[in-house]
Amino acid sequence: MGSPTTGRADGGTGDRADPAGLDHGLEVGIILFRWTAWVWMVVVAVIERDHLTHPLPAALLIGAALAVTFTASVMRAHRPGSSAQPVAVVIELFVGAGLLIGSSLFQDGEQSQSLGSAWPLVGPLTAGLVFGPRVGLGAGLSLGVARGLSGFFGGPGVSWVSVLSSAVLYGFAGGVWGWVAARLRRSAASAALLADVESSLAVARERENVARTLHDGVLQTLAVVQRRSTDPELAALARQQELELRAYLFGTEPATDLVASLREVAVRHEALSGTRVAVVCPDDLGHLGAELIGAMRGAVTEALNNAAKHGRAANVTVFVERAGDGVFVSVKDDGVGFATGDTDDGVGLARSIRARMREIGGRVEVESTPGSGAEVRLWSR
């Protein structure tokens, strides 16, 4: 019933990524094996029905195995990896132990195939996938020992050779399967890291090419404007654009504080447009990635430009708060507003706002009515 998707590959704690969808594939493999083993158990029960001394308890154990198998499959279908919980693995191991003990209690010993021959193996395999090879080994050894407990429940008992062979088989399967899964995850993670490095190098080379081109064109033009312009505001704007372009082309430390970044945007917007901008954040946002901060900064900048240029707003409030695992930002102005149903997205809204949010898996809502201002709502993933 466990899933490898959110477990631990090395016996440690914490969530783990799923490079190249590897864990999802392993999870599906376990589910297919679980169903196959259960069907085989039913076939054995039918074939060996004459050797079942207690059919009803045997049917209850088979039903418990079916419940575990079906529940894991449903959880996997609705949300991959959601069944990877410690309690799920423990339940699966208990049902497997019950089948091993019940094989001696509910069969007469003359059968050619034990009722709990295959399905209990799922428990150690799942434990190995979810928690690593050591736990898989321990779970398998525990099931081997459980097979010898039938004597304590009034059964005929099992020889120590049979108990030892079961413990070795189940322990070996759980340990090796966990070790193989851990090696595959490390290999997939290394391949994903290599791909990221190659992608970063390609971006860096492209940026260097663009930097050389713009340095001989746009940056020199902005420098000339600063030197020759008699308009202080135009010179200041050219200087600001030059600094931002240089920072983008030649690299700066990524922003780590969304609120501070938005307040910088607000100060610059007030200086250029005269619109008053208030940034409000009632909560501590915690750590946010540079990609999220950059996307939010760019989207809010464009929303402020629209409020000043099209909405002719005098005041804008930028509200920021946590929203689940992401961030919610509202940019609300007191401008002239517009009828959202009658207006198509402009280039700024489509490319600088919606496109930025789409890149980080977020979404955008725009609400406005003529004479009542406008509000742009941004959600990150």
pLDDT in tens, 213-272: 666 677 678 777 777 778 877 877 777 777 677 666 655 545 568 888 898 888 888 888
In this structure, is the dihedral angle defined by the CA atoms of residues 246, 247, 249 and 252, taken in order, positive or negative? Answer: positive
Residue 29 backbone phi and psi in degrees, to 5: -60, -40
Half-sphere exposure of residue 135, counting CA atoms within 13 Å on the CB side?
23
Cα–Cα dist 183/194, whole Å:
17
**What would the pLDDT profile of 203-226 be if each residue is shown by its tens digit?**
767 766 766 666 667 767 877 777
Evaluate whether 219 touches 242 at the Cβ level (below 8 Å).
yes
Residues 289-305 pLDDT 10s: 888 998 999 999 999 99
Quote the pLDDT of residue 299: 93
Q: Please give the pLDDT value at position 378.
A: 95
Q: Which residue is associated with the tokens 């949010």?
A: 357
State mean pLDDT over 358-366: 91
Specify the pTM.
0.42
pLDDT of residue 296: 93
DSSP lists the bridge partners of residue 96 as: none
The domain made up of 253-379 is a member of CATH 3.30.565.10: yes
SS3 call for 289? coil
Q: What span, in angstroms and rounded, lies between the C-alpha atoms of 226 and 224?
A: 5
Please, is 24 exposed, middle or buried when counting C-beta atoms within 10 Å of its C-beta (0-12, 13-18, 19+)? Answer: middle
Structural element, H or E, at residue 179: helix 160-215
Buried b / exposed e over 256-286, threshold 16 CB at 10 Å, is eebbebbbebbebbbeebebebebebeeeee
* Token output for 330: 């509202």
Chain centroid, CA 273 distance in Å: 41
Q: What average pLDDT does the structure give for the chain?
A: 77
- The answer for 32, left when phi > 0, alpha when psi is -120 to 50, beta otherwise, is alpha
- Distance spanning both ends of the chain, measured CA to CA: 29
**Contacts for 227-236: CB closer than 8 Å, 24+ residues apart:** 233/272, 236/271
For residue range 108-126, what is the model confidence (pLDDT) as tens digits?
Answer: 666 667 777 788 888 888 8
